Each structure stands twice: as structure tokens, then as C-alpha cells.
Amino acid sequence: MKLDSQQLARVAALFRAFAEPTRLAILQELKSDELAVSEIVDRLTTSQANVSKQLKLLHDAGVVSRRKSGTTVFYTIADPMVFELCRLVCDKLNRDAVKPSKIRF
Amino acid sequence: MKLDSQQLARVAALFRAFAEPTRLAILQELKSDELAVSEIVDRLTTSQANVSKQLKLLHDAGVVSRRKSGTTVFYTIADPMVFELCRLVCDKLNRDAVKPSKIRF
DNA sequence: TCACTAAATAGCCATTTGGTTATACTTGCA
DNA sequence: TGCAAGTATAACCAAATGGCTATTTAGTGA
């Protein structure tokens, strides 16, 4: 079964959501908790505007969900596949590493 | 367990290898067979130079292996995690799709 | 209505990157 | 040697994108 170019583009787009350190950092913070945008901003070292932008990207990709309460917006990981994906990738990096320094999302 | 920014960068870099349609198309061709560069070029619609470039990228990421025989170079998928990753992503896309049109790598 | 807070968006810039064409490199063979 | 075939690399360009600052939008309460 071969994917056509349009389907490959959709697959690539979903992978791209995970292909930036800042977005991974956001997902890492969301791993344990549902968090407000401002809480994520506090935990990272980038601007509120950038966090909002990356959250929108993750949301458009279906990776996170939003919940609005008053003026604050809470985000959660929308699909547990995120954890499986990151586990697969970390496992591979650990296998490939010369020096054994385990990383795990 | 939290990854520091350097580790997040490595994870992101590996995801990035999968984040482009052309590279996914190459991997899709390699799914069943070991192939020479020229055979991949014949199966896709891009230049030999571009295929070489993307293969180098995939090789640097540890995703494909090379084997040289005379002047021709054969590439294979280096790690079966590729298939698991693509399966997870395709499954999610299928779950999210409004119209049920199953895609599978 | 006004002020305040939280989040999203607009506009901009520097960097990255996928693709191309042209060229170099390497191996096998006449 | 010399030539041809298969890959890889160089140089370049246009498009995409991550990040910033500034501004706008939306909800809350005095």
C-alpha cells in the first residue's frame, strides 16, 4: 500500500509538529499536567507570543486540546500517541548513542 | 524525567528526518526492498542530486544504511522503528479523519 | 464605561531548508 | 589511459519558519 503525495504531505505535517525543540518542551510540560498558557510561559524561556504560536500549531495538528475558563486557556495532550512516538524516538537515540546516557520523554 | 534543551534538540532532529514528503517517499520505496540510488530516482519525480541529498540526511539520522557495490550504492531502512513510527502517525491521521479513507505506510 | 489580565494575532527579520543545475568524485572496463 | 556510469557535492535560490516586539481581542470586576 503506497501513499500518494497528498497523504505523504499529511504524514509529514504531523511529524513536523514534533520536529522543533520548543514544541517538544511544551509537550514535555503538558505530559503530567493540564496547564494554562501563562504557566507554560513561566516554565520555558521563550515569549508568550511564541508559546501561543506553537500551541496553535500543535492544536491545528490535533496534538493538544484547549479548554477555556474565563480569560485563561488550558491545554492538554490530546492523544496518547504522543508518548508512544516520543518513546520510540528516545529508545532509538539511546540505542544509537555511543555513550550510554539514557533519555526518556 | 525532563530532557534538557540539548536532548530535546536531538529528539527534534530525528523527528525532522520524517517531516518531509520526499524523505517519506524514499522510505516508502525502501520499505520492501533494498534499492540503489538510481532505482529510487526512477521511482520518484525528483532529481538524482536531491535523492542523494535526502539519503545523506536520512543516513546521518541513522534511519537508513548504505552498502556499496562497485559504483552503485544500495540503501536500506536501518531501524524497524521507522515502521512503528509511521504506523502510529497513520493511525492517528485515520482516527482524526472525518471521511474514512484509510492510509497506511 | 474603564481598567486590568490572559491569550492571540500581526508584522517583521534572520535562519533554515528543499529543490535545482552544474560539477567533482569513484569505480569498472575497453 | 581514457571513457562511461553511478553518486556525491557545491553553489545558489525561493519558500517556509521560529522568534521577537507591538498590538489586538476577549473576559472580569470595580
The continuous run of DSSP H or E covering B102 comes out as none
Burial A38-69 (b: 16+ CB within 10 A, else e): ebbbeebeeeeeebeebbebbeebbbbeeeee
Chain B residues in contact with A14 (beta carbon < 8 A): 89, 92-93
Residue A86's nearest CA partner among A24, A22, A44 is A24
3-state DSSP call for residue B16?
A: helix
Tell me if A25 is assigned to some domain: yes
Find where cell 479513507 sits.
Answer: B101
Tell me if B85 is assigned to some domain: no
pLDDT of residue A99: 67
pLDDT of residue A103: 86
- The nearest alpha carbon in chain B to A89 belongs to B11
Does the beta-carbon distance from B62 to A3 stay under 8 Å?
no
**What is the domain-level CATH number for residue B35?**
1.10.10.10
Residue B72 phi, psi dihedral angles, 5° rounding: -100, 145
pLDDT of residue B62: 97
How many other C-beta atoms are found inside a 10 Å radius of the C-beta of residue B55? 20
Tell me if A92 is assigned to some domain: no
pLDDT at position B103 over 90: no
- How far is A63 from A44, CA to CA, in rounded Å? 19
pTM above 0.85, yes or no: yes
Dihedral of the alpha carbons of B77, B80, B83, B89, in degrees to the nearest 10: -110
Range of the domain at A33: 5-78
Portion of chain B with pLDDT greater than 70, in percent: 98
pLDDT at position A1 over 90: no
Q: Tell me, what amino acid is at A50?
A: N
Determine contact: A65 vs chain B, CB below 8 A: no
- How far is A74 from A76, CA to CA, in rounded Å? 7
Q: Quick: pLDDT tens for A40-85.
A: 999 999 999 999 999 999 999 999 999 999 999 999 999 999 999 9
pLDDT of residue B38: 98
pLDDT of residue A100: 67
Q: Quick: pLDDT tens for B27-38.
A: 999 999 999 999
Tell me if B58 is assigned to some domain: yes
Does the beta-carbon distance from B3 to A24 stay under 8 Å?
yes
Tell me if A102 is assigned to some domain: no
Tell me if B92 is assigned to some domain: no
Does the beta-carbon distance from A88 to B86 stay under 8 Å?
no
Q: Quick: pLDDT tens for B54-93.
A: 999 999 999 999 999 999 999 999 999 999 999 999 999 9
Number of domains in chain A: 1
Confidence at B98, pLDDT banded by 50, 70, 90? confident
Determine contact: A97 vs chain B, CB below 8 A: no
